Structure 1
């Protein structure tokens, strides 16, 4: 029987373990990435158990725990154990499914189990070349905004390196002051996450880009790999009140930096925020990575 006491917090020391596992069992949703978990662990309390060649993940937010299907070889007995553990230790929606492979597997094993879509946490996936070029009618407005920025400002693009990462930190302090991060709980959590990312940038294995207007940083992006074909933009911060449309510029310049290495860019979910959903949809995602959950009542019913 799988016990919650066997789980341990995801830490920087576990990077190689997750990299090995994910090379063999590629992920598609940003929430399962190692970088996301270590950067947001103060908020979501990600833990894992390494069982029979599989990794089982859990997260606990505001005291409510949920579990995820095993990442590894298809082992129905281990899946049963995870469901049993979820029923013992989880909340009202104790099982989260963040990838189509496990979704299909669970539907096959438990054909009567209802999996509910959670649209707010669907990841948006874009073709890298689309965001790098903004070509075609569908991108006419954003292309016009980027071109206007390029005419108005003399700017440069550079990768985040050991030589300029202290400047990135200073920029983020300014950004957090502008957003008044400490007054809004989720922004306070995000502040801690992004500063952890910068403090541990090279240990995590992150990449990123800077937009510098003159000598001043106006925007940054922090990027990770989801799988061999897909990158993810974990953080993207800018000062739009100072430099209008700069968010569009850091988006396209980051895509240009990723072109040739990754076919797709994951720009994470919209969390149900109307303005964010509108802006992400306006950039024409190629597809979405869906998230589903199972309720306690439905799990109990399928186990009878």
Structure 2
């Protein structure tokens, strides 16, 4: 652990997030189990270019900076120690560089029990980045009237298309990338920064599939991948689904891959985190249609 820790520069020096840091992040996430969907090494690594992620260390905290000029912000520090001291230092660092000081994606569990106002800091709820968390059993069984439409969509898909669910292995990655390219052509990813960044993240995930220890699933129709999904444990009780993509020509394929992936790979985890809606109405409705058990509320911390 000391050797891994020493490889990270001491604050205010920073370095680009790299694959070499996976053992350090994994160790810290085991010691301090995260609740926010951002906090797996995989998620941080595959989105590192979009967020321009840099790492640093301060005392017993590992620090993460999204270094994007005026839009820069820190993620919550990982570790233990004087949290308020650390937050003040991070906010001051940004302020001294003429950047609006902000620590984002701060979970409610870190907010609770601290006198932020007394410390001269302001808390702002961030609805768009808050995570939707479901009971895994609910999304596998889809029981009751509220899931009637989901069950119908799956039934229609099963009756209409001869398909096969498979656990994802490296041999199928090229097929997944083919589907992703076709999906992007339909959605004009090149013209939409969010979709372009997601496409790059998906390519990163598949390029380092085995190194990252990802688990995936796919639906085959006539020997072709028409849906794929990627996930991993977030903490001992929760799995997080990072990616879910499907050919929209097959009605019902999205709820089918969702159910099959959880049933085949993750039934031992009580909860599933399906990440945030990013303030997009379509995503919000899609996530609400599965009736979340609870939300992981996230906050932005700024100076008063």
**TM-score of the superposed pair, with normalisation by structure 2:** 0.89
In terms of mean alpha carbon deviation, does 175-184 or 85-94 score higher? 85-94
SS at match of 1:265: strand
Q: Is 1:183 aligned to 2:181, yes or no?
A: no
Structure 1 counterpart of 2:140, from 132, 145, 154: 132
Structure 2 counterpart of 1:34, from 33, 37, 41: 41
Structure 2 counterpart of 1:53, from 37, 45, 60: 60
The structural deviation recorded for 1:176 is 2.0
* Alpha-carbon distance between aligned partners in 2 of 1:230 and 1:203, rounded to the nearest angstrom: 21
* Alpha-carbon distance between aligned partners in 2 of 1:18 and 1:95, rounded to the nearest angstrom: 19
Q: Is 1:216 aligned to 2:220, yes or no?
A: no
Where do 1:1-304 residues align within 5 Å? 5-61=12-68, 63-76=70-83, 77-89=85-97, 91-107=99-115, 110=118, 113-240=121-248, 242-296=249-303, 298=304
The structural deviation recorded for 1:213 is 1.4
User: For residues 141-160 of structure 1, what are the alpha-carbon distances to aligned partners after superposition, in whole Å with 9 as ceiling and x for unaligned?
Assistant: 11111111111111111111
The structural deviation recorded for 1:93 is 4.9
In terms of mean alpha carbon deviation, does 102-111 or 245-254 score higher? 102-111
Structure 1 gap segments, 5+ residues each? 299-304
* Alpha-carbon distance between aligned partners in 1 of 2:104 and 2:113, rounded to the nearest angstrom: 13
* Alpha-carbon distance between aligned partners in 2 of 1:17 and 1:55, rounded to the nearest angstrom: 9
| Contact 1:93/1:293 (<8 A) preserved | no
The structural deviation recorded for 1:37 is 1.3
The structural deviation recorded for 1:87 is 3.2
| Contact 1:30/1:232 (<8 A) preserved | yes
Counterpart position of 2:6: none
**TM-score of the superposed pair, with normalisation by structure 1:** 0.89
Counterpart position of 1:302: none
* Alpha-carbon distance between aligned partners in 2 of 1:97 and 1:180, rounded to the nearest angstrom: 29
| Contact 1:65/1:90 (<8 A) preserved | no
The structural deviation recorded for 1:273 is 0.8
* Alpha-carbon distance between aligned partners in 1 of 2:33 and 2:198, rounded to the nearest angstrom: 26
CA-based RMSD: 2.1
Counterpart position of 2:3: none
Structure 2 gap segments, 5+ residues each? 1-8
* Alpha-carbon distance between aligned partners in 2 of 1:197 and 1:47, rounded to the nearest angstrom: 19
